[in-house]
Amino acid sequence: MLEAKQTESLGSVCILGAGKTGLVVARYLCTHFDRVSKLTLYTGNPKSSVSPDLALLTQQGLTIIESDHLTEDYDICIASPGIPPYSPLYSSACKHCREVIGEPEFAWRCRPQKWVAITGTNGKTTTTTLIEHMIRADHKQACAVGNIGRACLGEVDHHLADTWFVAELSSFQLAETKLLHPHAAILLNITPDHIEWHGSMQAYAAAKERIFANLTTDDLAIISRDDLYCKAIYSRLVERGLSPVCVDTSQDPKTLQAAYCSDSMLYVRLNGTTTPLIKASEAALKGMHNIQNMLAASALALFIGVSVDAIRQVLQTFTTLEHRLEYVATIHGVSFVNDSKATNTDSVEKALTAFPCGSTIVLLGGHDKQTDLSSLVHQVVRKCRGAICFGEAGQRIYHELVSVQNAQASDGEGACDKCKSAVASAPLSFVKCVPHLRDAFDCAVTHAKPHTTVLLSPACSSFDEFHNMEERGTYFKNLVHELRATSDDEKLS
């Protein structure tokens, strides 16, 4: 294991990005200014506005340069995750800095003890939170950090050495890791996402795999084999001499170490010892995707010494997170559910399994990440009563859905086998396209009938209209609350 030193001199340091991550890194280094010889932050945009909090740090030694090109050389660069590697600012940093890393990597170097890490296209926030709750239920200290919304570096100085850092790591953050070495790491799944940032699906998968890069036989890798990318990564872990936990939601995979569901019972097998947990029906979280999350979290918790009783308690009581299939209200028999966290197609497909076929009006759209829509649109046609598309990606999603509907109208003539199958029993009765989320909500209210669910599950990120998915989800919930406050019997027909 490559050890990091918390007090070593960093030399000259530059920070890329003036957002939340840039501010956290700048604050930390201003507090530890004795470790740097020079501290500079590049905003990446000559016309960007600098927040008052960031501007205050110039009084503590920070220099702010409003440019997307570095003007001198540095020993180390800490890049914000929102800056893609092909951007002018990132490219300039690679030319002018001896090393470019991300904020979680730097936080680990500052405080390398007691880290576990979680990634995956979907399910990582739920799994991260489950693990944090399990550790705390066993009367131990834990802090969920990373992509979950709490910067790793912002917590380094505020927790005792015996606190577990439970780090949710995105592909952006993992792409900028080198020495990061958690004691246990989870990879839940890999499906297409963020291709526009990484440049290819292969690069995206490679970034996810980096979570295991520095694990040794003293550590634990936990991974599903539900997709081709994870299957290949599992094999490479075995080739390295590791004994990964195989997560399987349908059967015992018969591997040396496993977390699996068999006959509706959840089990974890570590070092040849199988521990029964609870029946799936006893879990507060519902859905096959959540069984995967619970199995992975339980395996990691057991490995780091959390008691079985604490794990069972959390599995039986932990409910859904905000913005993830979050029930908001029922108005005149119509239910409203906020799934703003569903920022990719696979997440939406999993969400649709939670509702009866033909009962859902789904709101789809947002920032277009140019992901393949074929699987999603066929699932929407099979399972939804209506679909309302909005935002930057709205037109593309709308046209894909309409093409499948047209195949239905023409009795499948000239359509591919997949389209014929989708439309054979399709409940989808209408598809609309509107400019914004507010318009989509109003359209859904117009078409909703009792026993229908209006589901915000966008399959896209939020940056065309909102700062983040949390803001989008909160906006949707506010629309629901406004409707409830003003609704009358004619609002929903």
Domains of the chain (ranges; CATH) run 11-102 (3.40.50.720), 111-317 (3.40.1190.10), 326-407+425-487 (3.90.190.20)
Instruction: Give me the sheet containing 430-433, strands edge to edge.
Output: 326-331, 334-338, 453-456, 360-365, 384-390, 430-433
CA nearest to 452, candidates 331, 364, 321, 348: 331
pLDDT at 297 over 70: yes
Q: Which tokens belong to 143?
A: 């802090």
Average pLDDT over residues 35-55: 90
List pLDDT tens digits, range 201-228: 999 999 999 999 999 999 999 999 989 9
Annotated binding-site residue? 124: yes
Average pLDDT over residues 111-138: 96
Annotated binding-site residue? 122: yes
Residues 6+ apart with CB under 8 A from 128: 118, 144, 146, 148, 166, 167, 168
Q: Are 369 and 413 in contact (CB under 8 A)?
A: no
Q: Which tokens belong to 354?
A: 């939670």
Categorize the per-residue pLDDT at 488 as very low, low, confident or very high, splitting at 50, 70 and 90.
low
pLDDT of residue 1: 33
pLDDT of residue 419: 46
Annotated binding-site residue? 125: yes
Categorize the per-residue pLDDT at 464 as very low, low, confident or very high, splitting at 50, 70 and 90.
very high
pLDDT at 416 over 90: no
Average pLDDT over residues 466-489: 90
pLDDT of residue 493: 39
pLDDT at 492 over 70: no
Q: What angle do CA 279, 280, 286 make, to 5 degrees?
A: 155
Q: Which residue bears the tokens 């759209």?
A: 365
Annotated binding-site residue? 474: no
List pLDDT tens digits, range 363-403: 999 999 888 999 999 999 999 999 999 999 999 999 999 99
pLDDT at 25 over 90: yes
pLDDT at 252 over 70: yes
Average pLDDT over residues 339-350: 92
pLDDT at 475 over 90: yes
- pLDDT > 90 in the chain, percent: 79
- Cα separation of 313 and 136, whole Å? 11
pLDDT of residue 2: 37
pLDDT of residue 196: 77
Q: Give this prediction's pTM.
A: 0.79
- Cα separation of 341 and 457, whole Å? 7
pLDDT of residue 422: 45
pLDDT at 460 over 90: yes
Q: What is the Cα 155 distance to its own chain's centre?
A: 20
Average pLDDT over residues 282-304: 94
Annotated binding-site residue? 163: no
